[in-house]
Amino acid sequence: MSSQAEEIRKRGIEEIRRLIDVAAGRRKADLVIKKAEIVNVFTEEIYKADIAIADGKIAGVGSYEGIKEVDARNLYAVPGLIDAHTHVEMSMLTLSEFAKIIVPKGTTAIIADPHEIANVLGVEGIKYLIEEAKTIPIRFYCMVPSCVPSSSLETSGARISEKEIKELLTLDEVLGLAEVMSFPDVIAGKEDVLKKILAAEKKDGHAPLLSGKELNAYVAAGIETDHESISYNEALEKLRLGMKIMIREGSAARNLKDLVELAKTGNRNLMLVTDGDRNLNDLIEEGYLDHVFRRAVEEGVDPIKALQMCTINPASHYNLSLGAIAPSRYADIVLLENLERFRVKKIFFGGEEVQKVFEGIFKGKRFVYPEKAKRSVKANKIKPEDIKIDLEGERKRKRARVIGIVEGEIVTEEIIEEIDGIKPERDILKIIVLERHKGSGRIGKGFVKGFGLKAGAVASSISHDSHNLIAVGADDESICRAVNRVIELQGGIVVVSPKGNEELQLEIAGLMTEKSAEEVLEKVKRIHKLLRELGCKLKSPIISLSFLALPVIPELKITDFGLIDVKEGKVVSIFA
C-alpha cells in the first residue's frame, strides 16, 4: 500500500472513530439540532429527537449535547431531497446558479444525465460540470450519457463510445449509465449498445410506450429504471417486470396526475423526478423537487410516502449515503415549518447552514467555463431560399405530414393536412433544424401545428438531444433572421416579430449562460410575453420547441436529416 493510500485509510478510520464517539455520547457533537420532529422515512413515523452531527455526517438521533446547538422545536426535520433524474443544462443556468435556487428550497442532491452538454462538447462538457460542482454546496452525481448522439438520424457535436463510458465510470461522482434511449437497438441486440450496458452496474432507462415482449426484451438487457411512463397501465406493466418508475412532473411534461393512483400506494420502487423539465419562471416562483412533492400531496399522496419517493427511494437505488436522518448519512437536513406544504425554515448541508455557505461562495471566485466551451455554433447564416419547401413536386402532392404538438407532453402526433404552404390562420407553421456542429449546412424542413404564432419566428440552440438550431415561424424571412441572430450570439433564444425582437444569449455550449438567474428570468419573461403577443398559447413554448427535435420520443419529430418517424426509426417525406 502506498504512503498516500495508507494516509487516506488512517484518516478514514479516525473520521469513523470520531463519529462513533459522538454517537456513543463519549464526545460532544459539532452541532446538535435539538428537539426536532423527525420524519422517519424508514418507519413512516414522526417523533421528537435531537440530531447529532460530526464531520458533516449524522452521528446519532436521540438525546445529545453539542458544541453548537440549534433549537428546532415545532419544526419537522426531513432529509434533503434528491432528484434522481435531471438535466441541469435545461435550466439554461450554470450549475452554480442552478444550485443557488434549488438548494435553499430543499433539494440538496441531484443525479444528472449531462447528455445535453455532452452532445455538444463531449466528455469535456461532463467534466466541466463535475469540476464546477466541487465549488458549491450540492451533492452532484451523474450518469454517463449512453446515447451521444441519441440517434443516427441527427448530427451531434460529439460521440461517446464504450471507451469514454468506462473512463468516466472511474470517477467518484459517476454512478452508472444514463437513460438508454436507443431502445430499438437494445431490443435488436445491437453489439455497440450492449457493450455500453455491460460496462456499468447501474443502468437507467428510457422506454416511452414500450410494452409486451419488446418491454421484456428491454428489461432483459439489464435496464433498471424508466421516467417516460404517461399512463397508470404503462407504469404498472414496467413495475411488474421489476423496473423502478420515476414519476416525472415538469413544466412541459406533467405525468403525476396520470400516475397518482400508483403513487398513492407508496411502492418503494417509485421516485419523484423533474427530468430537468422546469422552466426558469416555474423554478424560481414555484420551486423544484419541493414543488413536485407538494403536487403529489395535493393529488392525495401521503406526505411521508411522497417524501420517500424523493429521499430514501433514490438513495437506496443508487447506494448513496443520503436520503434519511440516520447515523452515517450525510447531514443534509431540511427543517420545515409545515410538512405538507414543504415550507422551509432552515437547511443544513453537511452540517453547515446553507445560506451562509452560499454567501461565502458567491462573494469569492466562481467557476469560469473556458472559452472553447463558448464557441460551439459553427453554422453558416441562411437565406429564405435555403429553407424553401417545394410544394410543386411529383404530381403536385398537397397532403403533408405535420408535427402535432401535444400540450403538457413531449410526445407529438403525426397529422395529415392538405396544405399549400405556411398557414398561420390554420396554425400551420414552418419548422426547420439547421446542423450547427460541423458547418455542413444541412437543414431539415417541415410543418408544425400547435405553436400558434400568427407572425414572426422563434429560433433556439436548445433542441434535444443534439442541440442543432431549431426554428418555428410564420414566414421564411423571419425564420432566417431569428436563426442568423442565434448564430451571431454563439447560442441562445431569439424571437423576431413585427413589434420588435427579444433575445437571450446562451454562450456555454449554446445551452447555458453565466448570467445570474434573475437576469435570465427577466429575459425569458420578455421572450414569453412576446411569443404570447404573437399568438403562442403554450405554457412552456421554449421547452416544447426544444423537444420537437428529439428523435427518440414518438411520433413525428424533425432533425437536420428531415422529418423522423420515431416508431419506424427512419426519415420520411413531408408528403404523405
| Total number of domains constituting the chain | 2
Question: What is the 3-state composition of the chain as percent helix, strand, coil, each rounded to the nearest 5?
Answer: 35, 25, 40
Q: Residue 479 has what pLDDT?
A: 98
Is there a domain that residue 74 lies in? no
Stretch 526-554: mean pLDDT, rounded? 92
Residue 1 has pLDDT above 60, yes or no: no
Q: Which residue matches cell numbers 427535435?
A: 549
Is there a domain that residue 525 lies in? yes
Q: Is residue 412 located within the same domain as residue 510?
A: yes
Q: Is residue 397 located within the same domain as residue 270?
A: no
Tell me, rounded to whole angstroms, the distance of Cα 327 from its chain centroid: 30
Q: What angle do CA 220, 224, 230 make, to 5 degrees?
A: 105
Q: Is residue 158 located within the same domain as residue 251?
A: yes
Is there a domain that residue 277 lies in? yes
Q: Is residue 103 located within the same domain as residue 197?
A: yes
Residue 164 has pLDDT above 60, yes or no: yes
Residue 566 has pLDDT above 80, yes or no: yes
Q: Which of 296, 312, 328 is the last residue of a domain?
A: 312
β-sheet with 203-205: strand ranges across: 81-86, 107-112, 139-144, 174-180, 203-205
Q: Is residue 531 located within the same domain as residue 436?
A: yes
Beta bridge partners of 330: 57
Residue 104 has pLDDT above 60, yes or no: yes
Is there a domain that residue 317 lies in? no
For residues 3 and 143, which has the higher predicted lDDT (pLDDT)?
Answer: 143
Before 204, cis peptide (omega within 30)? no
Stretch 340-352: mean pLDDT, rounded? 96
pLDDT digits (tens, 9 = 90+) for 479-526: 999 999 999 999 999 999 998 999 999 999 999 999 999 999 999 999
Share of the chain above pLDDT 90, in %: 85
Q: Residue 363 has what pLDDT?
A: 60
CA distances from 121 to 93, 116, 294, 374 (A): 16, 9, 36, 10
Residue 434 has pLDDT above 60, yes or no: yes
Residue 398 has pLDDT above 80, yes or no: no
Stretch 267-275: mean pLDDT, rounded? 97
Q: Which residues contact 182 (CB under 8 A, 6 or more apart)?
A: 146, 147, 150, 151, 190, 193, 552
Are the CB atoms for 386 and 443 separated by under 8 Å?
A: yes
Is there a domain that residue 329 lies in? no
Q: Which of 282, 312, 342 is the last residue of a domain?
A: 312
Q: Is residue 93 located within the same domain as residue 192?
A: yes
CATH of the domain at 214: 3.20.20.140
Q: Is residue 487 located within the same domain as residue 412?
A: yes
Is there a domain that residue 338 lies in? no
Residue 255 has pLDDT above 70, yes or no: yes
Residue 394 has pLDDT above 60, yes or no: no
Range of the domain at 431: 373-572
* Mean model confidence pLDDT for the chain: 94
Q: Is residue 274 located within the same domain as residue 379?
A: no
Is there a domain that residue 149 lies in? yes
Q: Is residue 542 located within the same domain as residue 460?
A: yes
Stretch 177-189: mean pLDDT, rounded? 93
Q: Is residue 392 located within the same domain as residue 298?
A: no
Q: What kind and span of H or E run contains 13? A: helix 3-23
Which of 85-99, 269-283, 348-362 comes out lowest in average pLDDT?
348-362
359, burial (CB in 10 Å: exposed 0-12, middle 13-18, buried 19+): exposed
pLDDT digits (tens, 9 = 90+) for 363-382: 666 889 999 999 999 999 99
Residue 182 has pLDDT above 80, yes or no: yes
Q: Residue 543 has what pLDDT?
A: 86
Q: Which of 312, 331, 362 is the last residue of a domain?
A: 312
In whole angstroms, give the CA distance from residue 150 to residue 117. Answer: 13
Structure confidence at residue 361 as a pLDDT band (50, 70, 90) = low
- 53-62, 411-420, 547-556, range with greatest mean pLDDT: 53-62
Q: Residue 287 has what pLDDT?
A: 96
Q: Is residue 295 located within the same domain as residue 377?
A: no
Q: Is residue 262 located within the same domain as residue 379?
A: no
Is there a domain that residue 539 lies in? yes
Stretch 106-127: mean pLDDT, rounded? 97
Are the CB atoms for 61 and 51 separated by under 8 Å?
A: yes
